[in-house]
Structure 1
């Protein structure tokens, strides 16, 4: 028995010795077969494995966090967003860090026996790889430079995001929290003041960037105290809904205030009208007459009709037309207004005579022919285009001017920039009205008939084509002879009796002058200056007439500033009445 046990022990010891010695022999044999290049690659792989451990761990943590977070859907900051490795300061030192690592690698390889001078082929391969790496780095740096040029508000957006996230943390943190919430709240206020109204990174001060780094550190501490992103996400979602509701409410309020301002006469204009009216009635009857009354209905002159109850608006239209005209003595302006405003408008042109042109002021309340037409109906709408009788008297021009054959209609919110004498030479081809079309998509404005008129009504739909081109009031040439021949005033009255009064004067014009419209070149009449900020500046400069259609009239405080100078340059704000009423450009 003792011999058997002895043999078993010897066998076990032999197997143990073999299991220990065999791997050593195998490894030493493999090491002898390695070349110098193989040793270098082996050591590099060993080095990379050593320094990639932390990166792999971080990636694993990031992936785990991403898989676990399903709600909310909004973008939630993670801890890596506040790590110092991506801070503003560290981005500037990336090149230094990379060069340091490269130097450390070279030193390590030399210490392990690698000689870079051995082997020309190996050196050539190394140079080629180095050249490719440099080219890739240059390409990456160029791409980053282009990105930095394009994205000039990156820091501003980061600061705003930090402020939003800080507010979310402040709302979910309990009062008993041991965090330094007061410091975070103070830093949030400082960040809001630092960013102010900045829209580009160049607008930020150096102190703002320093506060940004402090905020990163503070948010990183808060994140470690609240690692659960779901609470932060829910709070951000609530804040988003509240902000959207606030924006929606403010938009409704802004829209209401804009409409209110458009319907309300400014205090300065009311003051001007009252002062001019008082001056007018202080004159003797013979002093109230305007000059050149013999030219009022001369058929060979250029006649312009302006419907308005606004003194400044009439002055701008008349002054701009006269200043750009080549033959001022041929211009005759017929200003039609209500009897309440007639004294003020008359007094304005008495103290500001229109050079060689003629101005004729008419009161719409004195028309004898109006009794045979139902020219105005009571309407409950508060919008001026539905309630002002001046907007509907356009359809009675042949009755207002029975002695004239042609006339140009100018709205009181237009400015004439070029001589309009060529307008009178346009061949109307038997049509009644000349107007600029508004049926071209992509241009301002764009209208379709079915936007304003219910073509499903069989009495209307069978008469009109929904694809017919629309046009604009504001600057229109009328052939009054053709108008009388087609008896279009009766056609208009028929549509009014059908109950189409409420659709507005423009759609009624489309119906009344359907298939009797001569479309003019867009350069004659550019629209949109009263509501759109996208009107092409070149089109404005080249236009014969520009139109402030919309709510933002140039004489209101809500006027669009970029277009207002085209209107104010035709008014003399040094006038004593304008100064007394505090009316300024």
Structure 2
């Protein structure tokens, strides 16, 4: 029996073609996008082969279990099995340099070639390689920062050489400091005496002239600048050519002191011990951690002048008290009220000590400076506590009469002989925390603002401080110093000085 197509059937078939094509044209793009989405989602887990895509797309279409969870379980299982196993150095060296390199390498494998263990090992090796690069960069930055902080800038070296030349050819540069008619003031206790032990000409100049500028009675000020033999001529020439009148200033080299035999032996003992410590540092520094070797030691740790501060009573045998100033200070207020402070029989007045009202520490505590786990400190007969507030050196009022009645200097010498028990870095500061601990009197915190060579304090604290202390590696005369703070120091330089202009210290 034949099926006959009538006119109506043909009309029905022809009429359905066009709607069918339109429907397919609309539906097909959505189907394609949906399949592409599944394919991309399946390939996100580094599955480049068709077999892998099928394994991932199938469950998505048919709502089965998610195989990505199985993959995560496999990765965790493999990770736990390999966890703690040391990596071969050759594997770390050959590891990809970045995540993109790792993914490019992994996606080049077929699904059958993909090994989860190999993937995890490569990932661990890549992360270790990247971490090694970061640590190396940090160490290099620490080294460069340390070298920059202890180096002598070219302009300061130039100034020292030119001043030494001036001392030889210019009679004015060799004039007496102070003039003979004012020499009696050097031991007169009715004047305000400041002591600086430094070989930094610019630093000493800023300290002296900022103190003069801030003083209500500059004619009462006496400056004692102690330096070493190599810097003496340049230091003398600078202050001979740049008058501090109406104040009085003396420049004295260590080679010019004529101590009694007993005092001379005591100071030579300190010198000998310091040199032995420095020698031990250079001998054994390779056994220390690199970070401690480059980051911890400050330039002052290698300066003999820094250790002779412990001999202030011997350096000034006829003075009753003295205000000690570091060479990285800027004085902003009159220090006469500090000079008149009653130390109540104590040896040193310092900022940073917890006051009697129980207020919080101004800065760090003793535990931040001293390693109390070291038996050396736990066995000392001093009232040391990790939670007690530390105090600051750099701007201190010393009662030399009270000091002479103690054994502070001998104790310091004994401690410094034990330098092998503790890294040399910041020895003067750390051991001073110990020997002066029972002989200190707290001063109002506004007298001394330290740390400007480490951080930038709030403007209100800078304005309120009597003395700004650029303690830390970023000194204001170095290029690594904070540009925001450098102007506070440079404003006290003599910008009309031809010597400073020739050495490009100032423009």
TM band (smaller chain):
0.5 to 0.7
Match runs of 1:449-528 below 5 Å = 451-452=370-371, 456-457=375-376, 460-467=379-386, 468-496=388-416, 502=424, 504-528=427-451
Residue 456 of structure 1 deviates from its aligned partner by: 2.1
Bigger Cα Rg = 1
Q: Structure 2 CA distance, aligned partners of 1:574 and 1:64?
A: 80
Partner SS, residue 334 of structure 1: strand
Q: Structure 1 CA distance, aligned partners of 2:377 and 2:433?
A: 17
- For residues 198-245 of structure 1, give each alpha carbon's deviation from its aligned partner in whole angstroms, at most 9, with x where no partner exists: xxxxxxxxxxxxxxxxxxxxxxxxxxx9xx998999877655443322
- With 376-385 and 559-568 compared, the bigger mean Cα shift is at 376-385
The correspondence for 2:220, drawn from 330, 343, 349, is 330
- For residues 510-532 of structure 1, give each alpha carbon's deviation from its aligned partner in whole angstroms, at most 9, with x where no partner exists: 22223110011221111111123
- For residues 434-481 of structure 1, give each alpha carbon's deviation from its aligned partner in whole angstroms, at most 9, with x where no partner exists: 011267978544442772566624883343332443211100001111
TM-score, length-normalised on structure 2?
Answer: 0.68
The correspondence for 1:550, drawn from 467, 472, 482, is 472
Distance 1:445-1:271 versus aligned 2 partners, 3 A rule? farther
Residue 284 of structure 1 deviates from its aligned partner by: 3.2
Residue 310 of structure 1 deviates from its aligned partner by: 0.9
Q: Does 1:405 align with 2:328?
A: no
| Map of 1:563 onto structure 2 | 485
Structure 1's unaligned 5+ residue stretches are 1-53, 74-163, 178-224
Distance 1:453-1:237 versus aligned 2 partners, 3 A rule? closer
Provide the aligned C-alpha RMSD in A.
Answer: 3.8
TM-score, length-normalised on structure 1?
Answer: 0.59
Check conservation: 1:328, 1:357, Cα contact below 8 A.
yes
Match runs of 1:25-64 below 5 Å = 64=66
Q: Does 1:248 align with 2:131?
A: no
Distance 1:329-1:462 versus aligned 2 partners, 3 A rule? closer
Check conservation: 1:172, 1:235, Cα contact below 8 A.
no
- For residues 290-344 of structure 1, give each alpha carbon's deviation from its aligned partner in whole angstroms, at most 9, with x where no partner exists: 3443432221111111111011111111121111111111111111100110111
Residue 565 of structure 1 deviates from its aligned partner by: 1.9
Distance 1:531-1:450 versus aligned 2 partners, 3 A rule? closer
Residue 172 of structure 1 deviates from its aligned partner by: 4.9
| Map of 2:188 onto structure 1 | 298
Q: Structure 2 CA distance, aligned partners of 1:542 and 1:400?
A: 33
Distance 1:173-1:353 versus aligned 2 partners, 3 A rule? farther
Partner SS, residue 455 of structure 2: coil
- For residues 85-124 of structure 1, give each alpha carbon's deviation from its aligned partner in whole angstroms, at most 9, with x where no partner exists: xxxxxxxxxxxxxxxxxxxxxxxxxxxxxxxxxxxxxxxx
| Map of 2:270 onto structure 1 | 375
Q: Does 1:276 align with 2:276?
A: no
| Map of 1:448 onto structure 2 | 367
Check conservation: 2:329, 2:467, Cα contact below 8 A.
yes
Residue 267 of structure 1 deviates from its aligned partner by: 1.6
| Map of 2:341 onto structure 1 | 426
Q: Structure 1 CA distance, aligned partners of 2:104 and 2:495?
A: 54
Check conservation: 2:203, 2:328, Cα contact below 8 A.
yes
Paired residue total: 396
Residue 65 of structure 1 deviates from its aligned partner by: 6.7
- For residues 12-53 of structure 1, give each alpha carbon's deviation from its aligned partner in whole angstroms, at most 9, with x where no partner exists: xxxxxxxxxxxxxxxxxxxxxxxxxxxxxxxxxxxxxxxxxx
- Report 1 or 2 for greater relative contact order, CA contacts < 8 Å, sequence distance ≥ 6: 2
Q: Structure 2 CA distance, aligned partners of 1:553 and 1:331?
A: 26
